[in-house]
Structure 1
Amino acid sequence: MSAGEASKLWGKSDNYVRQMLAKYPEKFPAGSVRKIGKQLVVTPQGMEAVTGIRKNDLDI
């Protein structure tokens, strides 16, 4: 999913993934975040690793 979409799902600001990737790239598991063209995409596992909140625990 897009970084902005993931950030909103996890209740974070729109640029959360970009900020975390810039400051703490080691928190993202290998292959969990990728840039495709200008679009940054992140897996649910990447968001879980960075936020500590599991996707199943979200109110979606």
Structure 2
Amino acid sequence: MINLNDSDLMSAAEASLKWGKSENYVRQMFAKYPDKFPDGSIRKFGKQLVVTRQGMEHVTGVLAEDL
């Protein structure tokens, strides 16, 4: 079950900006390379993409502590 209060869970736009990428980075990566995201690290709710810290670290290779 996903804990929506988890600070490791963020919108795609928020995660993109936090990792220093363009606002639509996560959306573009997910559209082009959905298999790059580990299973359970990204999910679409309606039109909103939600991604975990672990998913972003895996895709970008940058740990959240390094930001």
Q: TM-score, normalised by structure 1?
A: 0.92
Q: Please list every run of 5 or more consecutive structure 2 residues that lacks an aligned counterpart in the other structure.
A: 1-9
Partner in structure 2 of residue 27 of structure 1: 36
Quick one: distance in 1 between partners of 2:25 and 2:15? 9
Give the AA of the match of 1:16: Y
Q: Please list every run of 5 or more consecutive structure 1 residues that lacks an aligned counterpart in the other structure.
A: none
Is 1:42 the counterpart of 2:51? The answer is yes
The superposition leaves residues 4-55 of structure 1 with CA deviations (integer Å, 9 ceiling, x where unpaired) of: 0000000000100011011111110001000112211000001001100000
Quick one: distance in 1 between partners of 2:57 and 2:43? 16
Residues paired across the two proteins, number = 58
Within the candidate set 5, 16, 37, 2:25 is matched to 16
Give the AA of the match of 1:14: E
Q: Mean Cα displacement is larger for which, 1-10 or 35-44?
A: 35-44
Quick one: distance in 2 between partners of 1:40 and 1:26? 15
Normalized per residue, the structure richer in helix is 1
Partner in structure 2 of residue 51 of structure 1: 60
Q: TM-score, normalised by structure 2?
A: 0.83
**Percent of residue pairs bearing the same amino acid type:** 74
